[in-house]
Amino acid sequence: MSSKMLLRGTPLTLTLWNPKIQHKLLQLRRLSSKTNCSSLQPPNVSHLAKTAHISLTPTEVEEFGPKIQQVIGWFGQLQGVDLQSIEPSIRADTENNLRDNTPEIFDHRDAIIASVPSYEEPYIKVPKVLNVD
Amino acid sequence: MSYTMFRTFQVHPFLLYPTSILKRRNGFLYSTTIPKATQSSQTETKVSTSSQSKNLYKIPKDYEAVIGIETHVQLSTLTKAFCNCPYSYGSFPNSSICPVCMGLPGALPVLNNKVIEFAVKLGLALNCNLAFNSKFDRKQYFYPDLPKGYQISQFDVPIAASGFLDVDIPLEFGGGHKRFGITRVHMEEDAGKLMHTEKGNYSQVDLNRAGVPLLEIVSEPDMRNGIEAAEYAAEIQRLVRYLGVSNGNMQEGSLRCDVNVSVRPIGQSKFGTKVEVKNLNSFSSMSRAIDFEISRQVLLHSQGQEDQIVQETRLWEEGSQRTITMRKKEGLADYRYFPEPDLPSVILSQEYVDGIQTSLPELPEEKRRRYEKMGLGMQDVIFLANDKNIAEFFDATLAKGADAKSAANWIMSDIAAFMKNEKLTINDIKLTPEELSELIASIKGGIISGKIGKEILFELLAKGGSVKEIIEKKDLVQITDPVEIEKMVVKVIEENPKQLEQYRGGKTKLQGYFAGQVMKASKGKANPGLLNKILLEKLNSTT
């Protein structure tokens, strides 16, 4: 089982049918540590989609519910681990990984700018959004 | 070199870059009119605050205001928090970017060690408990100036917590010491700059600022009025400048304050509804905005309409001098915090912390107490300790032997006036602390008079040089030989028989005329005290 990989907190690289769901799972990981997987509420897909700024058709909402639940259930296997005698830790790795405060100009700024879909020199052009989330 | 910072980076035009920005299938355009980060001109109106606002916004005795302040301090590290991009205010838009701060796929953050150093410095200076093991979290929300769709911040384990800040209220507002609690200090990254176009349905994003390190300081709700809040903010500014962690400029945006204001009847332990006020660009507008908001809330209370006070964010409008609704907070925002998987814990060692503790400079509060002990008045104390460079100049002058009161007087009057006129800082003027000390000693020792001293000072400020040199060159040594002075006095009296008669006839004010003439004759070098003594003798004698 690849629970070891999950415990080390490395980014997930599951091959899913839908890459949009990927980052939602990182959030669900936290949920599943709190509740027993069998007693877990079915996911509120509309709410999840809203917070992720993804619009789904009613059909998609229906379809995704059980699929998401399956994945959660797969993670839920972690609930089987006995953590009674284990000290809770903030994070798995304990070494500082720092860099020096020395400036470095990134060489390929042009390539970045070129890949911006909507660029009006010298700004990135975006639709007018007046409010946060 | 920068490729070692992140794993397999590929530029996929159009593919992985968030296309949701353009193909917005969801309409998330609210109908409010005020944008989040405006770049409209912040005109600094010099309003005479104190007496006027105190009268208009006097809090009725039966209510008390509860104010808390959140301050964001932009750190003056050379590079950003999680990548090596340099940051300097005002550089050409989108010139200092890289895949990490742009949030491009595959890029990974690596923490700048300077950020930890500055955070520990500030935490210690604010008398906080440090978390020797803290972590970063993702604060998730969508906004065009937030490239990753989340901000790397610290949620439940901030690097510092439970501290306090001691403040001296300026004399014109009542004076006195106050201590304000600090709830927490945590590290996070800044977002880019978003500018809305006047007409047109689009906005513009500059990501130079994205990823710049910030320290967020959250205070306890200990302030009770606008003055206290403004002084708290001023002390934070003083502190970060003293520590060298930030230049603390509100105009530049390297120091940003948001305030939370609520009122409650005195005696009630439950807090009233809290209202957030943003768009405060100076300490004085902070003070006025808070006072306005307090009176607005108290008015509603007194009219029995306290339910009209809702938890919301209001903007301070400098022009009309009032707060206006920005948007109603529809419940608390759900930021879906979770630990940042791409960053390890931040581990501090006792050794590291001790090292920083010993390297802390004397803080403003310590300086003020030390200056007070020297016998200086609070006015002087506050002035001298306000600017680290002025305090250093003052201390250096004392080190050369000058007494505190004299040094303080010279710095606060003539030297301060010169700096203001010439628009120079104390580091720019040519006068050195040694020479100031020499000047003070020369006057004390009677070598030169106070008046001559002022002239010498002016030359020292503008051109430098030494006191001794100038005295010699211009032959300014004071005449203190009574015999010599008597000679001059006698001569002047002889040359002005008419005035002598008038004096002896009762016009005693003419003594000043005679004194002036003697001064002129001596080229200003006669010791004034001796001069007048001898003059009076001669004038009043009957010979």
- DSSP code string of B158-171: -SEEEEEEEEE--G
Model pTM score: 0.78
Interchain proximity A133–B338, CB inside 8 Å: no
Peptide bond into A122 cis (omega under 30): yes
Helix (H, G, I), strand (E, B) or coil at B429: coil
> CA end-to-end span of chain B, whole Å?
96
Burial class (CB in 10 A: 0-12, 13-18, 19+), B59: middle
Least confident of B84-93, B214-223, B262-271, B500-509: B500-509
Give me the pLDDT at residue B46, please.
40
Give me the pLDDT at residue B253, please.
92
CB pairs under 8 A between A and B: 185
The whole-angstrom distance between residue A123's C-alpha and the CA centroid of its chain comes to: 29
Task: Using the predicted structure, report yes or no on whether residue A120 has a pLDDT greater than 60.
Answer: yes
How far apart are alpha carbons B232 and B179 in whole angstroms? 9
Question: How far B190 CA sits from the closest chain A CA (Å)?
Answer: 15
- How far is the CA of B439 from the CAs of B59, B81, B458, B470, in angstroms? 50, 48, 12, 11
- DSSP code string of B246-260: ----TTTTSEEEEEE
Least confident of B199-213, B244-258, B456-470: B456-470
Least confident of B46-55, B343-352, B447-456: B46-55
Interchain proximity B345–A94, CB inside 8 Å: yes
Q: Where are the beta strands (DSSP E) in B7-101?
A: 63-74
Residue in chain B closest to A129 (alpha carbons) equals B29
Where do we find the tokens 């009268």? B55
Task: Using the predicted structure, report yes or no on whether residue B195 has a pLDDT greater than 80.
Answer: yes
Q: Which residues pair with B182 in a beta bridge?
A: B163, B219
Top-confidence range, A128-132, B26-30, B200-204: B200-204
3-state secondary structure B211-238: CCEEEEEEECCCECCHHHHHHHHHHHHH
Interchain proximity B345–A54, CB inside 8 Å: no
Q: Express each pLDDT in B170-180 by its tens digit.
A: 988 888 999 99
Question: How far A24 CA sits from the closest chain B CA (Å)?
Answer: 10
Task: Using the predicted structure, report yes or no on whether residue A94 has a pLDDT greater than 90.
Answer: no
Interchain proximity A91–B32, CB inside 8 Å: no
DSSP for residue B411: I
How far apart are alpha carbons B467 and B439 in whole angstroms? 6
Strand B275-280 vs strand B312-317: parallel, antiparallel, or unpaired?
Answer: parallel
Question: How far B286 CA sits from the closest chain A CA (Å)?
Answer: 23
Give me the pLDDT at residue B285, please.
93
Average pLDDT over residues A31-52: 70
How far apart are alpha carbons B457 and B473 in whole angstroms? 15
Q: State the pLDDT confidence band at A8, using cuts at 50, 70 and 90.
A: very low
Give me the pLDDT at residue B20, please.
38
Nearest in space to B190 (alpha carbons), one of B59, B104, B101? B101
Task: Using the predicted structure, report yes or no on whether residue B455 has a pLDDT greater than 80.
Answer: yes
Interchain proximity A53–B142, CB inside 8 Å: yes
Residues B187-209 as b/e (b if ≥16 CB within 10 A, e otherwise) read bbbbbbbbbbeeeeeebbbbbbb
How far apart are alpha carbons B291 and B289 in whole angstroms? 6
Cα R_g (chain B), whole angstroms: 31
Q: What's the one-letter identity of residue B226?
A: G
Top-confidence range, A36-40, B158-162, B407-411, B526-530: B158-162
Q: Where are the beta strands (DSSP E) in B45-96?
A: 63-74
How far apart are alpha carbons B76 and B190 in whole angstroms? 13
Task: Using the predicted structure, report yes or no on whether residue B43 has a pLDDT greater than 70.
Answer: no
Q: Express each pLDDT in B321-346 by its tens digit.
A: 999 988 665 556 789 999 999 999 99
- The mean predicted confidence, pLDDT, of chain B is 85
Least confident of A7-11, B114-118, B414-418: A7-11
Out of A26, A53, A99, name the one closest to residue B338 (CB): A26
Average pLDDT over residues B96-123: 96
Least confident of A118-132, B12-26, B220-234, B388-402: B12-26
Nearest in space to A38 (alpha carbons), one of A67, A89, A75, A90? A75
Q: State the pLDDT confidence band at B24, using cuts at 50, 70 and 90.
A: very low
Tokens encoding B329 = 């907070």
